[in-house]
Structure 1
Amino acid sequence: MSTPPATEPTAVPSWTVGGVTVHRIDEVPLPPATGAWLLPDATPDLVAGQDWLRPHFADDSGILRIDSHSFAFTLDGLRVLVDTGIGNGKQRANPAWHDLDTDYLRRLATAGFPPDKVDLVILTHLHADHVGWNTRQTDGEWVPTFPRARHVTSRTEREFWAGYDMEEAREQMFRDSVIPVEEAGLLDLLDVPAAGLDIAPGLRLLPTPGHTPGHLAVELTSGGRSALITGDCIHHPVQLAHPAVGACVDIDPRRSEASRRTLLASLADTDTLLLGTHFAPPTAGHVVSHGPAYRLSPVPADPH
């Protein structure tokens, strides 16, 4: 798959959460075949049974729409980035992720987050499409993209992969996107209890294990309003209607489903804004009870 050539970034979509503006930093739409591979139980017939998924989250033939992006916001002067996408120029087995050339960093800077001004990078988990922009290539070496930022992830997550019998593609991802950040002394491993962990005022990490053992969701609170960034606990809004639908790459499918059900139940019929790390535009919405499960009531990005 060839990546479309880089173009000038357009306005950065954003949402207001209390006194905080949350920006979506687009990287790349993923190919139509992604949904069927990633969520094999989300068949066209199952998708077609949820009219609310169209036209934003699925097409008329039941093909799911899935994107790669990050979220960035400033909280009490702290510039925060949640997940770092796939990255440019990375050698990846997945052709949709291989050797990308995107405008990600320019979009990030357009939103007010030039790499040397980012203070905190939260990694929901250590998969290739969530850690790629941790590094960029300089003089043939992979160096940290955000040299001033504290990078955080779950200790459970890092220790799991440290003891995992990795295939070469995953080892390559760690070599180019995780280990350089560790060697620079920029990665902090956090012990996240079941009740969650406050890492700054208004910023909380919530354990949502299953997709990976140390997977985290991110809760933001400001001015009496709240938002929840999913990571890969929820890949696509179809999983609101069918929480049993899991990803083919879930390490522990049963635990992933349990985390998803618990999270959705806590969000249902509240004013918490759900921000999907892979949700196609409009990306955000409220979880609403719908039959035996839920649906997403979209909240469009703020007008510019």
Structure 2
Amino acid sequence: MPPSPTPLEPSPRVWSAELSTLDLGGVSVTFLPDGVHHVEPTKHYPDAPDGVWDEHPEVINDEGLLVMSIGGFLVRTGTHDVLVDLGFGPRTLDMTALTDGRIRGDMIGGAMLDSLAQMGLQPADIDAVVLSHLHLDHVGWLVDPQAPGQPMFPHAHYYLSETELEHWVNETDPVEPVKGVRGAPSTEQLAVIQGAARTVEEQTEILPGIVVVPTPGHTRGHVSVLVTGSSARALVIGDALHCPVELQHHGMTYSHDQDPVAATASRELVHAILSEHDTYFAGGHFPGRVFGRLTEGDRSHAHGLHYVAD
């Protein structure tokens, strides 16, 4: 049986999500923490409703910054060990310093391999990696930092959108979210992907129970991943949504979406999937807890959320 969702009160302390597992019945999904991202909420959500952040202290820290987890997901089917997204990697980005104080925040990675080890696995045990998209906080562990140019996961195939891969291979002027930082993958990271890529373009079951679902907009080829077990399903959202507040308030837009119209349509698709029976969300950027379900109610207004408590 899937775990019972537990309604949680807003926490006085906002934290990056910790390692946690959702059992779907013969298939499990585990969040593997890599680090955390802090940023001013108005920089990511300039058109958020008035007062929305005051209504949701569970996502804002004492400095007034939005807290966003960074990491990836481990899907274990009994036959395959699959990763969805690869975190930020062993690095730290001080956005406050890089922007001369114009944007307060930071991005910190480096813990994902330790998280994987806690599950009793090493990089060589991973069969496949699904990449929702190729922004720097989702491809951080593609390359072995101790062996430049070599893949961190030597036995894995890399599943991603053909559109996504072609975009970044051919891109000459990538989006730069802050001064001096390219949002694109490095040439070295692209080489690793191209050496073992299996691209998809439509909704595709890449392995039994693991379906890639196109959700373009944040990037041109962004995908989410629907994982199905014997008793429940989970949608690994990727960056189709970045914050649980987006699940509760329709119409919020994200400032770094490449195609805002397509991104809005993809968010509606995510809402529709999550409104189906026994379907959980897996939000890799959600603070505190990453797994949960929407409550029933009027889809035109605010949703409630029930989180899965460990």
Q: 2:271 aligns with which of 264, 267, 277?
A: 264
Q: 1:111 aligns with which of 97, 102, 119?
A: 119
Amino acid at match of 2:163: T
Query: What secondary structure sits across from 2:51 in the alignment?
Result: helix
CA displacement, residues 138-163 of structure 1 (integer Å, 9 cap, x when unaligned)? 25x23211001111100011112233
CA displacement, residues 26-75 of structure 1 (integer Å, 9 cap, x when unaligned)? 111212x25332222236612334xxx443x3458975321111110211
Q: TM-score scaled to structure 2, two decimals?
A: 0.81
CA contact (8 A) 2:70 2:109 kept: no
With 240-249 and 289-298 compared, the bigger mean Cα shift is at 289-298
Amino acid at match of 1:297: L
Query: What secondary structure sits across from 1:24 in the alignment?
Result: strand
- Which residue of structure 2 lines up, in the alignment, with residue 76 of structure 1? 78
Amino acid at match of 2:67: R
Q: Going by fraction, where is helix more abundant, 1 or 2?
A: 1
Q: 1:275 aligns with which of 276, 279, 282?
A: 282
Q: 1: distance between equivalents of 2:198 and 2:19?
A: 29
Which aligned pairs between 1:7-156 and structure 2 lie closer than 5 A? 12-31=19-38, 33-42=39-48, 45-49=51-55, 53-55=56-58, 57-58=59-60, 63-89=65-91, 96-97=106-107, 102-139=110-147, 141-156=148-163
Q: Which runs of 5+ in 2 are unaligned?
A: 1-16, 99-105, 175-179
CA displacement, residues 107-145 of structure 1 (integer Å, 9 cap, x when unaligned)? 111113310101110000111111111112225x23211
* CA RMSD between the two structures: 2.7
Displacement after TM superposition at 1:228 (Å): 0.5
1:170 matched to 2:182: yes
Which aligned pairs between 1:182-193 and structure 2 lie closer than 5 A? 182=194, 185-191=195-201, 193=202
Structure 1 residues 200, 296: closer, same or farther in 2, change over 3 A? farther
Query: What secondary structure sits across from 1:109 in the alignment?
Result: helix
Q: 1: distance between equivalents of 2:19 and 2:146?
A: 27
**Higher relative contact order at CA 8 Å, sep ≥6: structure 1 or structure 2?**
2
CA contact (8 A) 1:47 1:62 kept: no
Q: TM-score scaled to structure 1, two decimals?
A: 0.82
Query: What secondary structure sits across from 2:219 in the alignment?
Result: coil
User: Percent identity of the aligned residues?
Assistant: 29
Displacement after TM superposition at 1:84 (Å): 0.2
Amino acid at match of 2:117: A
